[in-house]
Amino acid sequence: MFGRKRNLDDFTSEIEAHIQLEIERLRKQGMSEDEARSAARCSFGNLLQAEERFYESSRWLAWDQSWQDVRHGLRMLRKSPGFTAIAVLTIALGIGATTAIFSVVDATLLRPLPYPEPEQLVSIEDNLPGVGTRDVGMSQPEWQDLQRSGIFDYVSPAWYDDNNQTGSSEPARVSLLIVAPDYFAVLGVKPQLGRTFDPDNYTPGFTLEVVISDGMWKRAFAGDPHVLGKGVRLDTDLYHVVGVMPPGFQAPGRTTRNRNIEVWAATSFFGPPLLDHPPRNRRNLPTAIARLKPRLTISDAQSRMDALVASLQKQFPSDYPIQSGWNVRIVPLKEIVVGNVHQSLILLLAAVGLLLLIGCVNVANLLLARGSARRREVAVRQALGASRTRLVRQLLTESLLLSVLGGIAGLAILFCTKGLLLRILPESLPRLNAVSINWVVLLFALGASLAAGAIFGLAPALHAGRFDLTPALKEAARGSTGSGEQARMRRVLVVTEFALSLVLMIASGLLLRSFWDLLNARMGFNPQSVMTVRTRLPYPNDLKADAYASVSQKASFFREILRRSQILPGVEEAAVGDFGSVPLGHDRDNQTPPDPLILEGHEAGSDRFPLVDASFVTPEYFHLMGMTLLRGRFFNDFDNEESPGVVVINEAAAQTYWPNDDPLGKHLKLSPAATSWATVVGIVADARAESLENARVPEVYISMYQQIARNHPHHLAIFLRGNLDAAAIPNEVLEQVQAVDPTLPVFGAQQLNETISASLAERRFSMEIIALFALTALLLAGLGIYGVISYIVSERTHEIGIRIALGAGSRNILRMILREGMGLAIAGAAVGVVGAAIVSHLMTGLLYGVSPADPLTFVAVTMLLIAVAVLACYLPARRAIRVDPLVALRHE
């Protein structure tokens, strides 16, 4: 296109040739040289105009003009540094914040999981809706069914566990994932050293091979390049290292612990120490991950899975009672990994987008104000022949310049604060290490900047291109025109700003109230001055090596630990429990799967038992935790391995399972295989042990000294209450525990208050960020209304002067100005309340204890916004009442 363009020189010489030809013709007709020249020029007409029209018809013009606009724009911005600084800074903060949040969204939600062909990766979820339970896991035969189903290339259950690593200098706890041999084939990842498991190895029991993480390799083997084949002792069993995963490799998992795996061990899930022939109804394999056959979509896979489930139900009616409603859902693996944070991240992105929009409205307001100052300039240019499109383009160019400068500044801020921002992010955020400023993020920043420029530039530019020239030129000296339209547009902008701010503030207010309510929820236990320290008893595959095989062996260990803990400095009370008994300090899906609850008289049908959370505790636990006994009794020293089994239940369990009965004295079992019944001896008040959000989770407490449930715990939490030295306790407990058994690791020392606040980390993060955004929005809205009212006051100085001269009191003037401001604030608030009501319903899932239409929040936040508006209007209004009528009238 451009190659075909003629330049102006070519055009000029053509015209030159024309004139020469004409002169020659005329001279042949007998004219003199001079006569011919002037006649030729005359008949040609306006030479310059022809050139101009040639120039305008060519496409160079657009470029030349744009370049001109850019240079002019830069000059204008340089000429008013104050305005430019404020506008660029506003945009920079907006773009910086938006881009920062976007980079997190990009890393977590947008980018695919870091495994080959990630769209084929799924998670398999077994549900029993008939008994109200989800994700119950599968049995070994079911896993085999899935592998043979033809739906998947590979299927691997993944069983999270801790293990005790011994043999090196200090016993350590390692996070272990017990997987099927084809686990790494599912993910499709290669180790950096050695190999992974042979996917076709189905020898019974555990393969005595482990794959370790890069971190474990560096920590336990000092990065030894000859690590392959070296032994590692886990729970006293000896394994050999066969592979080392690359740095940065994370297992796909819902929680941080599930992602940061250090050791992988493989099993075929049958054979010693597991059962030789695991029954079909024993769902002890947890959630599985799988790779779909190539080109199979999730929905196709799901329908084939439904067919498989139906045929299995027909084939094994006694294992799959109709009432349990067994189904298997195929979920994209990514949903499992990022599902937890999806909603909060979208909320954050929406909030920051809203903030950017408010920033844009503010800058638009500034531009309008500047537009009135530049009225004369625009008028002069228009008088000199600049077309309206040309003027609009010029002003738009200026706005885009502002926004691009703002965007660049925003990115600069982001780059400088990157390290700090990454530290603010909650550690539990999935794919945290993937957060980066890549080209997608940069492109987003550019797009956001340009969009912002267009948004805040368009209204003022259009407005400036449409005003009447004559009065502007005439009234140049007065500096203002009382242009109704401009004032109207600024009012609209302020109303918009108020509405947007109110939406953000109400959203933030609701989150704040949720958080506050959670912090002040009646927890049902007293976390003050309680510390927990954890340890773990080994659970070797080699049963002969198990020093803690029987409950009595464990019981003597517990008694010894309790005796030694009680004499530690500052300790007033001590108790032992399993991980499940640490309030808010455990992942239920990991170490402590729920147990089936079998009530006496309702034993029929293996699948219909509800699952209940069980916590193992020593008798001291209830008093130490400050829990309230409602009826019956707590455990006592006479409840031991020889005495009949007893349990304590909470109120929620009592009301759920014995709605019309007195639970005291009733019998229950926590395993279909248990031979004897346990008796309910006490009912305690509900404690928020599972989550702060949910007060009413049925819970069964079991004595540490009795064997009632299927598994007796290996994960132990030592509870201490008293005037504790939090820094010294971990070591003191370590010494005492290792004095009893030197192979035990001691870890996870934490004050219970910290445990509780850590459980709120994600919620706190999004609440704090949104509160920050809301405060900024409030500030911007305040500045916006301040600007407009100031403008109105200066516009009306003359009128106010006359009013004062005619006897209007300062009270009247004040009322007049405030009424103006309040009108805007209330209009904005009205629109905002409607918007907030919509938004708050969308975020219901993130709220706790408040309804999305919480009147208190709505009213309080709206009042706050209006109060800020009053303040922002009061300052210019005070200026108005101080107007000296003489000066004001001379203003003319």
Partner 1 sequence: MSTQDARERLELLQGTLDLLILRTLIFGSQHGQGIARAIQETSEKELLVEHGALYPALQRLEERGWISAKWGVSSNNRKARFYSLTAAGRKQLVKETNKWKRLSGAIARILGSEPAES
29 contacts partner 1 (rule: CB under 8 A): no
Supply the minimum distance, in Å, between the C-beta of residue 383 and partner 1. Answer: 25
Whole-angstrom Cα distance, residue 107 to residue 129? 34
Supply the minimum distance, in Å, between the C-beta of residue 48 and partner 1. Answer: 9
Stretch 424-443 residues interacting with partner 1 (CB under 8 A): none
Supply the minimum distance, in Å, between the C-beta of residue 50 and partner 1. Answer: 4
Supply the minimum distance, in Å, between the C-beta of residue 67 and partner 1. Answer: 23
Residues in the interface with partner 1 (CB under 8 A) total 23
Supply the minimum distance, in Å, between the C-beta of residue 2 and partner 1. Answer: 13
8 contacts partner 1 (rule: CB under 8 A): no
Residue with smaller CB distance to partner 1, 9 or 200: 9
Residue with smaller CB distance to partner 1, 48 or 567: 48
Residue with smaller CB distance to partner 1, 11 or 874: 11
Supply the minimum distance, in Å, between the C-beta of residue 46 and partner 1. Answer: 6
21 contacts partner 1 (rule: CB under 8 A): yes
Whole-angstrom Cα distance, residue 4 to residue 59? 11
Q: Which residue of 8, 24, 556, 638 would you call a contact of partner 1, by CB under 8 A?
A: 24
Stretch 38-77 residues interacting with partner 1 (CB under 8 A): 42-47, 49-50, 53-54, 57
Residue with smaller CB distance to partner 1, 50 or 664: 50
Residue 448 and residue 103 in contact, taking contact as beta carbons nearer than 8 Å: no
33 contacts partner 1 (rule: CB under 8 A): no
Supply the minimum distance, in Å, between the C-beta of residue 27 and partner 1. Answer: 11
Count other Cβ atoms within 10 Å, centred on residue 257. Answer: 15
36 contacts partner 1 (rule: CB under 8 A): no
The SS3 call for residue 288 is strand
The SS3 call for residue 12 is helix
The SS3 call for residue 117 is coil
Residue 250 and residue 259 in contact, taking contact as beta carbons nearer than 8 Å: yes
The SS3 call for residue 242 is strand
14 contacts partner 1 (rule: CB under 8 A): yes
CA angle 488, 494, 495 (to 5 degrees): 90
The CA distances from residue 267 to 149, 158, 178, in Å, are 20, 10, 7
Q: Which residue of 20, 323, 417, 436 would you call a contact of partner 1, by CB under 8 A?
A: 20
Supply the minimum distance, in Å, between the C-beta of residue 39 and partner 1. Answer: 8
Binding segment (CB under 8 A) for partner 1, from list 22-30, 212-220, 240-248, 779-787: 22-30
Supply the minimum distance, in Å, between the C-beta of residue 295 and partner 1. Answer: 49
35 contacts partner 1 (rule: CB under 8 A): no
Show the tokens assigned to 350: 């929406």
Residue with smaller CB distance to partner 1, 57 or 675: 57
Residue with smaller CB distance to partner 1, 43 or 844: 43
Binding segment (CB under 8 A) for partner 1, from list 5-13, 124-132, 317-325, 540-548: 5-13
The SS3 call for residue 185 is helix
Residue with smaller CB distance to partner 1, 57 or 389: 57
Residue 108 and residue 429 in contact, taking contact as beta carbons nearer than 8 Å: yes
Whole-angstrom Cα distance, residue 257 to residue 816? 62
Q: What's the first-to-final CA gap in the chain, in angstroms?
A: 56
Residue with smaller CB distance to partner 1, 15 or 446: 15
The SS3 call for residue 662 is coil
Q: Tell me the residue ranges of DSSP E strands in 203-272.
A: 206-212, 231-234, 237-244, 263-267
Q: Is 45 left (phi over 0), alpha (psi -120 to 50) or beta?
A: left
Supply the minimum distance, in Å, between the C-beta of residue 59 and partner 1. Answer: 10
Q: Could you tell me which of 276, 289, 258, 298 has the C-alpha nearest to residue 143? A: 289
Residue with smaller CB distance to partner 1, 1 or 727: 1
310 contacts partner 1 (rule: CB under 8 A): no
Pairing verdict, β 746-751 and 678-684: unpaired
Q: Which residue of 25, 478, 563, 882 would you call a contact of partner 1, by CB under 8 A?
A: 25
CB-based contacts of 741: which residues, under 8 Å, 6+ apart? 547, 557
Q: Is 29 exposed, middle or buried (0-12, 13-18, 19+ CB in 10 A)?
A: exposed
Residue 703 and residue 616 in contact, taking contact as beta carbons nearer than 8 Å: yes
Binding segment (CB under 8 A) for partner 1, from list 37-45, 173-181, 443-451, 622-630: 37-45
CB-based contacts of 749: which residues, under 8 Å, 6+ apart? 531, 532, 533, 534, 726, 729, 730, 733
Residue with smaller CB distance to partner 1, 24 or 542: 24
Stretch 392-411 residues interacting with partner 1 (CB under 8 A): none
556 contacts partner 1 (rule: CB under 8 A): no
11 contacts partner 1 (rule: CB under 8 A): yes
Residue with smaller CB distance to partner 1, 59 or 230: 59
Whole-angstrom Cα distance, residue 499 to residue 478? 34
Supply the minimum distance, in Å, between the C-beta of residue 64 and partner 1. Answer: 17
Three-state secondary structure readout of 659-685? CCCCCCCCEEECCCCCCCCEEEEEEEC
Supply the minimum distance, in Å, between the C-beta of residue 1 and partner 1. Answer: 10
Whole-angstrom Cα distance, residue 687 to residue 697? 8
Supply the minimum distance, in Å, between the C-beta of residue 4 and partner 1. Answer: 8
Using CB under 8 A, list all residues that contact partner 1: 6, 11, 13-15, 17-18, 20-22, 24-25, 42-47, 49-50, 53-54, 57
